[in-house]
A and B are shown apart, each in its own frame.
Chain A
Amino acid sequence: MTTSAIEVRGLRKSYGAKVVLDDVDLTVNAGTVTALLGPNGAGKTTTVHILSTLVRPDGGAATVAGCDVVRNPDGVRAQIGLTGQFSAVDNLLTGEENLLLMARLRHLGAKRSATRVTELLEQFDLVEAARKPLATYSGGMRRRLDLAMTLVATPRVIFLDEPTTGLDPRSRHTMWDIVRGLVAEGTTVLLTTQYLDEADELADRIAVLDGGKIVANGTPDELKRLVPGGHIKLRFADSTALHTASGLLRESTLDDVDLALTVPSDGGVHALRTVLDSLDAANLEVADLSIHTPDLDDVFFALTGRVESKEAQS
């Protein structure tokens, strides 16, 4: 099914004189993950807040799971879950009580509530901490509990607003696995992130948001192809071979210390074959070969003309 779960047209939002969203269009197909990538202040969280009915847009239209966010907010609310960058948990309750609270508010009934809570505690590895106050939870545990609370009633569309910001690498990978699991079950996910590797890792499509505008939208590979910088790197056993090869491949640049040659290329099979054929014809042995396609860092830089994203990644 390729119906869209989220449909955004011409979305606008300003706070006073500051334009936060300026004519944003976005389509997220049902059952896919779309990453909204952008630096701090790009408008990612505002977009998610509008789509989850927390904030009213100034203009444009947005539907989530077929319901208009302004005209039918309750319809939207019934089908979504939001896990924000600030944990939406009740700090004065235990993990189990938090989940039970959600189950009651979703009207699951006493018996199903109890089963569902047990299930989620196991799935999110929170069984041992279930009866402990949240003050004793680590950042990763809180984030897992937060997501578990969102999933009490299996929403159709889930918004994850910077789900791994501030988590250690292990917790990050756990979170990624959970998101993949959700998508495998058919949930639609809109994820905001400032981590390029996260978008690359999880998303089917990436929309790059910068200064309140979508500046690019496509699959991770499509975005990478947008920018120059791809190349093939060849290493040779000795200097003679290196220089012969350098003579054959005119556009290449030479690195005498590494005995390496860098050949600009789009990274495609055809370009690679051409390079290898000409080396074969000259009977040159290649010691090592690697293909470098531009990463999202390059994409980001090329699209926004800034390097903020690299900063944000550290």
Chain B
Amino acid sequence: MTTINAAHPHAAGAGGKSHVVADSITMLRRNLLHMIRYPGLSVFTIMGPVVILLLFVFVFGGTLGAGLPGVDPAGGRAAYLAYVMPGILAITIAGGAGGTATTVSMDMTEGITARFRTMAISRASVLAGHVLGNTIQTLIAVALVLGVGLAIGFRPNAGAIEWLAAAGLMVLTAYAISWLAVAMGIQAKSVETASNLPLLLVILPMLGSGFVPTDSMPAWMQGFADYQPFTPIIETIRGLLLGTPLGWNAALAVGWCVVIAVAGYLWSMVIYERKSVR
């Protein structure tokens, strides 16, 4: 990978591939400007998880917490806050996909995207701009949601290394989910479909160990819940922040992220190339 080649300002065509990084950064700037100018979607991706967090902790939390194994019913709400926080963080990351798919889908219908296709810039950088922009946005959302969690009494016992590792995994997850969301956005025939498709991702943490332990589920569902991507991701964050046993979860989580990112990237590139304009 190379950086901007200032000596050949006009040689863009000769080396379209050599400008991938520079072009991706240019596209990232464009997407960040969009987010700052029109923060509507961004606000929604942050408010959603906060509402779910407050709902689950203060409305359902007392009862759900009392049902967790080895918890004194009197401290149910606090115990449930600790239990549900990793799941809420996963939902925050998954929720970002909705915004990305919508933005990408709208962008594909814009004339500017047609213009990008007639320019000697790498296909990947147009999409990478969206992915990086969304990853940053999601991480901001994660930080704010975590802030709310800490404010209402979430007390992780992690050291600096564990915090760093948890942050790293969340960055990786956000990045992987973003590629998937970009693919969904290009694939969707309409903006409406694009905004609904990623809702499936938001359900996933609930069908895993995000909100209740999987062994409280019926056997057939438990099979799915234990092996779907979000469970090892949630278990890893839980293990790092709260000291629950990690087992193979960390390796599984990273593996899933790599698989999702690569699949999302390939899917995006193929359909972006195939879908010609108008």
Contact = CB atoms under 8 A, between A and B. Distances in A.
A216 to B, nearest CB: 27
Interface stretch (A75-83, A205-213, A260-268, A278-286): A75-83
Contacts of A91: 110, 112
Contact of B118 (A80, A89, A101, A109): A80
Given A55-B276, A56-B276, A92-B34, A105 B23 contact: yes
B121 A92 contact: no
Contact of B33 (A87, A97, A106): A97
Given A55-B276, A90-B112, A101-B26, A109 B9 contact: yes
B34 A105 contact: no
Contacts of A104: 22, 26, 29
B105 to A, nearest CB: 15
A114 B4 CA distance: 16
B276 A92 contact: no
Contacts of A53: 117-118
A97 B114 CA distance: 18
Contacts of B120: 74, 77-78
B119 A105 contact: yes
Nearest to B38: A92
A54 interface: yes
Contacts of A55: 276-277
Contacts of A107: 4-6, 8-9, 11-12, 19, 22
Grouping DSSP codes into helix (H, G, I), strand (E, B) and loop, the A interface class, with mixed when no group exceeds half, is loop
Given A55-B276, A77-B119, A78-B12, A88 B112 contact: yes
A79 B12 CA distance: 9
Grouping DSSP codes into helix (H, G, I), strand (E, B) and loop, the B interface class, with mixed when no group exceeds half, is loop
A86 B4 contact: no
A227 interface: no
B37 interface: yes
B9 to A, nearest CB: 5
B16 interface: yes
Given A107-B19, A107-B22, A79 B112 contact: no
Nearest to B113: A88
A105 B129 CA distance: 13
B13 A75 contact: yes
A92 B38 CA distance: 8
A261 B244 CA distance: 104
Which residue among B33, B111, B112, B115 has the maximum number of chain A CB atoms within 10 Å of its CB? B115
B222 to A, nearest CB: 46
B13 A79 contact: yes
Interface string A84-114: 1011111111000100010011111100100
Given A53-B118, A153-B10, A105 B26 contact: yes
B277 A49 contact: yes
B161 interface: no
Given A74-B16, A84-B111, 9 more contacts: A56-B276, A77-B120, A78-B120, A82-B118, A90-B110, A92-B33, A105-B12, A107-B12, A109-B4
Interface of B: 4-6, 8-14, 16, 19, 22-23, 26, 29-30, 33-34, 37-38, 110-112, 114-121, 276-278
What are the 5 tightest A-B residue pairs by CB atom distance, in nearest-first order?
A78-B13, A88-B111, A88-B115, A77-B120, A78-B120
15 contacts: A49-B276, A54-B114, A76-B13, A77-B13, A77-B16, A77-B120, A78-B13, A84-B111, A88-B114, A90-B30, A92-B33, A105-B119, A106-B10, A107-B22, A109-B4
